[in-house]
Structure 1
């Protein structure tokens, strides 16, 4: 019996075989950032995510329990379970630290018990102390081994986010993104969620150097819907396998309509101007 069979089946629920692409939503911000626009009432937002037709949704163990009955819906997205917590993104006026830390809060077995189709963990590089970065690698390697044994995909989220002073302004550096995405693939990631470099040309080089599918992270809410759509279109044109956007979806005027618009670009190959004309976003 091969656990790879289980991985293939589960990953195909997130990255669709028909297009080789995924429109997934990151809905795990409450774990690290607390309540914010778009997650105050998680069940209401989850209903919108389901209505829009998302292929997958990234959630915390707690949210998986809160929304359990909704995730049993015929049209519910596949569950990607967040296994770790970080204080890296906490605002400076909210007990932030110059160098954040991450810790596992769940494991692969628990994710399967919650009905997950995949697990996801951060992998930050750029720490002032090299042993901290080494622990990040060890953590992800441990999860990879467990995921391989149990036949569930492990999606890694590598980012240049260790020490704020050391990485400030360099998070979107194509060379750093190419470095940490390849590291994640070599450790054993089945797919990757990571930053967009800002343009299709440089991102194509990142994609070319990474032998596993890459889904782009959306980052902070963009200043306009067009900016968000341009980012997605650029990534898809560069060869990305889809998106795992959070705030640009759940904080949209209508999250369900935003997901439908993103599907038109990612799965349908539509241009940004077409989407802006035909969707009420």
Structure 2
């Protein structure tokens, strides 16, 4: 699987084995929100900040192709749903692994909501994508969230552990889950997954420190990085925010060091 190894090196930092991913697939779900209107500018901003990869849908690949400046890994998202649907948690396949390869993807991703009434169909899609990705030597990022009638708290460590393990069991090379809120409980999530675990950013947070403390906690717990969207591309300075997160993920900096970097725009790294 040399092809998969080569592609994974474009997503995971060779030295740290960690990654800073910025998902930008929100347009399908909620439309052209702030930060995702001028896509070329946003992609350039996060790439210059040091992001390892971005996530986007197939129709916007041209906005992520950079002929000049710092390159960034491309993960094409294969599933989607809209907030306007009566079943917003039911993700449907809208792209294939082969199509993503033709578009130049370094990896593909899929979103599954376990606990939803359509879980059965999403798991079937997951299995199909996993098989195709393995056949083509294409890395697979699985975004797995506990969401549905039986889920009382989608951040409960027990269900987050289940989500991460399911992703690994069904063939993902990297699993994205929500942070549990504490180092100790997230350490259990990481321990239960034989593949790298990265955290989601969730809704827009109230402060920069809150974001950075969440990232630091996940790294201390053994996490392999982040896949943070709105808290990056809607930040007043996405380039600096990516740089601050990268300090935590790749250089084991403290939250105060990352915050100082973020708050000093003219500081040269």
SS of the aligned residue for 2:51 comes to coil
CA distance, structure 2, for counterparts of residue 275 and residue 181 of structure 1 = 28
The answer to whether the 8 Å contact 1:53/1:76 transfers is no
Residue 127 of structure 1, CA deviation: 2.1
Correspondent of 2:37 among 33, 40, 47:
40
Correspondent of 1:268 among 232, 235, 251:
251
The answer to whether the 8 Å contact 1:160/1:171 transfers is yes
Correspondent of 2:50 among 25, 48, 53:
53
Correspondent of 2:169 among 176, 186, 195:
186
Residue 231 of structure 1, CA deviation: 0.4
Q: Name the residue aligned to 2:110.
A: 121
Aligned length: 264
Q: TM-score, normalised by structure 1?
A: 0.90
CA-atom RMSD in angstroms: 1.5
Provide structure 1 residue ranges, at least 5 long, that are not aligned to the other structure: none
Structure 1 residues 141 and 75, CA, compared in 2 at 3 Å: closer, same or farther? same
Correspondent of 2:78 among 65, 80, 83:
83
CA distance, structure 2, for counterparts of residue 67 and residue 77 of structure 1 = 8
Residue 98 of structure 1, CA deviation: 6.2
Cα shift readout 1:58-112 (whole Å, capped 9, x = no counterpart) = 11111113343x2x4452110011011123xx2xxxx453663111110001111
CA distance, structure 1, for counterparts of residue 208 and residue 162 of structure 2 = 30
The answer to whether the 8 Å contact 2:90/2:116 transfers is no
CA distance, structure 2, for counterparts of residue 242 and residue 66 of structure 1 = 24
Provide structure 2 residue ranges, at least 5 long, that are not aligned to the other structure: 265-269
Q: Are residue 141 (structure 1) and residue 127 (structure 2) matched?
A: yes
